[in-house]
Amino acid sequence: MRNLIRFLVRNNAFFLFLLLEGLSLWLIQRHQAYHHIKIVNSTNQITGGIQETYHDITGYFALRRINDSLQQEMAQARSGQLPPAYAAQLVKVDTVVDTIYEQRYTYWPVKVIASTVHHADNYAMLDRGTKDSVREGMGVIGPAGIVGKVVAASPHYAKVMTVLHRDFRAAVQLKRQGLRGALRWAPFSPTQAKLDYIVEPADLKLGDTIITSGASTYFPKGIVVGTIADFSLTPGENFYDITVDLATSFSSVRYGYVIKDQYLAEKDTLMTLE
């Protein structure tokens, strides 16, 4: 007993060690439960501010590249590839077709002020938060394709779970064939993902484009996800093993759009009716 007490006294650093490690574990656990955190805590306001300043400075070096991608996007918008509208068709008996376009999705421009690609689960930070109506559960796209989903928002910043996260899923489809599947990250690759649930036989080709299917409320239909990099079929399996090259370069994405679905509430109500 005396030995034990002497041990405890002599090793008080050991208890400090245990305490600090316990504290770290608690912080990690709290962080992992990201979906329970509705408000990003105040430290993010400080670190977010510093990171934003840093982004503003380094942003100049990326201006040429950003200009190029903006131009590309303009070209896309001109050819009507962004799906901003919902076409409501009224077909009457006298065959007069009246097509009106009603705004369904709103795109808010945001800056991506920080993003990671090399962690086991990756996030990005946006420079807009609840003050600009950015809320948890909104989809985020970049100039090239999908980026992720907002998982937390503070007044001025929002945290995005990018495709490069082990919990990320998105409803997608093959553009050419229309086959629907689910997208998930190919863990730890900064550029690739997997496409699940494509049943054989399917007419697949390398380079086939994958787009969002619009089945989830995060993304409208038709946002580019990536292209097929590789596919194979294990004998006896029903589903292909498909690897996807993601369109978005997550290490260099600098700006994007937060998507709000105006019909979200309506869709939700309908889904919960049964």
Query: Rule CB under 8 A: which residues touch other proteins?
Result: 12-14, 16-17, 20-21, 23-32, 43-44, 46-47, 50-51, 54, 116-120, 123, 125, 159, 187-188, 190-191, 251
Q: How far apart are CA 16 and CA 24, in angstroms?
A: 12
Residue 109 near residue 133, CB atoms below 8 Å? no
Of 3 and 29, which CB lies nearer to other proteins in the complex structure? 29
Minimum CB distance to other proteins smaller for 28 or for 100: 28
Element (H, E) at 211: strand 209-212
Amino acid at 183: L
Min dist CB 162 to other proteins, Å, is: 12
Find out whether 125 and 160 touch, Cβ atoms under 8 Å: yes
- Cα–Cα distance between 274 and 271 in angstroms, integer? 7
Q: How far is CA 96 from CA 89, 90, 99, 101, in A?
A: 10, 8, 10, 16
Residue 138 burial (C-beta neighbours within 10 Å; 0-12, 13-18, 19+): buried
Q: Is the CB of 27 or the CB of 199 nearer to other proteins?
A: 27
Q: How far is the CB of 43 from other proteins (least distance, A)?
A: 5
| 23/100 with CB nearer other proteins | 23
Closest to other proteins by CB, 21 or 237: 21
Tokens 């955190």 belong to 37
To other proteins, the closest distance from the beta carbon of 156 in angstroms equals 15
User: Least Å distance between CB 249 and other proteins?
Assistant: 11
Residue 118 C-beta: closest distance to other proteins, Å? 5
State which amino acid sits at residue 157.
Answer: Y
Instruction: Provide, rounded to whole angstroms, the least separation between the CB of residue 132 and other proteins.
Output: 20
Q: Compare residues 118 and 267 and give the one whose CB is closer to other proteins.
A: 118
